[in-house]
Structure 1
């Protein structure tokens, strides 16, 4: 028997290859899905089934692509918003046999209406489930978000509560295999580990400690979540079926002149935030490779032609991988060599960094032409904020920049300075010139004023 986790960096997406008796199933494959076929063949397994836990919002499903490669049968839950054209419908109690393993379908709506979990039973040891693929219903330390049906908030929160009771009923011995780990946009309280059991979650997961269904529902209704515009694209692709990812996930390397001629709608600098602030090409925005999955969908549209700027070719390749996994394929190419560009007289810009003392002085002086702009999320803001600051979540700057005054001086802050650099880079690319970044941001402020 084999059960292997395949993690997708950036998205914190967890997919699985499970096999026995010469057969295998893949759970929630990503778009660049050759990895599953390679691992199955290396283990002498034939992929016969592809199991989807739900219609993913945050990444492109590889199910139709992997099915075309292997002939495997794709299973998806009932009640999708519209037909999932590449999948058969699985319902509560259905089973899939993979060698000695029997995988049982459990309908677990709440996160989405079509959500399924898959309990793993070993027929040679029939006393209870060995494990369960929980999708986005149950995470390690958290549970799924329930904000995708705003007109049915109370109903879907209650559905998730009921689904969690089903999962808890599998027994404390069952190992939990979730679809995401810490850092995913699908939850905010996930533990920094990717393994657990039903018993451990029952005793330790804060979201499973409510004394009643009504209290759970009230908590879920009050949660704050953000939905990037690209979620709508993922919904479409994951019901209609996406095309395969580009065969070579490495962009064409461009000279500076070629980059200019490419007429890109978005020039994306994927270097470290401090490198971007120290010097970047005019008109570019900042999206470090590790932040692409979380924030590209706020600032880049499906129709946008993208040019990349990186420190080296490996960074270009990593950026293209992240973009392809969320459906952004229109990449004109990438440029490496910001320092030579500067030496050659290219239009370069910088964004100053300021420290706590400067921010405190400006607040005390109450400078009329200056604003401290906090781009953290609502929960972070609620847990502590700097008096006199203005709040606008970094993602909401995609349109919210239009309500800001480009003649005004803004200092961007977040928890550490990373998201503040993304925010500043976006504003710079929109023509704002009077900006700086609070280095250390709320972390530095708390240490100085704790």
Structure 2
């Protein structure tokens, strides 16, 4: 793609990067075949190629975006399926993130949109605030039907029951069971700590059982993804800086072999810290953090997991977009489950998003609902006993539309290697 940025514009590193990405696009349209929003809406401007044209025009002309441009860019899930499909290596993630930052700086959204987006940005990344918000939503559920669609969807998103806070999520060090083979930091996340404490608990048991000393670093928290993808770059960089400082303190202290992340959306972001913080004083440290960051499945694949039971269970594996497209991890989780004795089933169209996508199911409920319906239909066709995924957002999204239990991959692996049976598989 030909671009026409001026020399003055290209002094800005964000525009430099976007210019590189735009110029790598050859208009082939392969991305449209795997774009979920294009499949649902059928509008070229709701495909990666269409959005690339809109972003180019907006950035080159330093134009205040109109509402239609913002609408099309807002509709992007950031599922990154286009990056898997693209034969030219267009780094769409950096481009769409830059576009959203530009919109946040130059476009004044309608009042209700501003209120909702700010409320999400100041609630979801903080587990205590989020827990309180979920309690409030539970109480407001009887009023949901008379409220605006987006507010109604947020209220209905709240689970009927919340788990009590887990002491395991507090800053501390967990010794390995037996000989210590490596020392790792576990990212405990933000919303996950309020929605599902079983995931971190199972992760800790599993890592410790196979020789890992696990540290929950003081000061680490939200990865910044939720605000970053809303264009709130300053806020997301604050989260990033805190995490980098917390983990590097451990790295420079007793050392770290890896930073383990069991929410793939967070993992994709942390692995991009080097790019996000490239112009800050933390650039070198952020690059080191990105190198240390590993999805839990990557870490487990390096350990000698030895099953202690023979689970007779058919598992439909849902591959989160942030894992398969963002981190290019596809076979590892399925291989781990198979090696543990599970029968692994893969739904058709596994490359397509379930519609969760961070805050997407709250901000774009209609499109999200269609994608959820499609995903649940393909999963149900597998006739599985349980659904496994590696991302809390996907688990919540899919679990809200099916009676089949939805658990994290680590819960099944923990059970197969000597841990307790996942609570969602335990019947009264």
- Which TM-score band applies after superposition, normalised by the shorter structure? under 0.3
Q: Which structure dedicates a bigger proportion of its chain to strand?
A: 1
Q: Which structure dedicates a bigger proportion of its chain to helix?
A: 2
TM-score, scaled relative to structure 1: 0.26
Larger radius of gyration: 1
TM-score, scaled relative to structure 2: 0.27
Question: Higher relative contact order at CA 8 Å, sep ≥6: structure 1 or structure 2?
Answer: 2
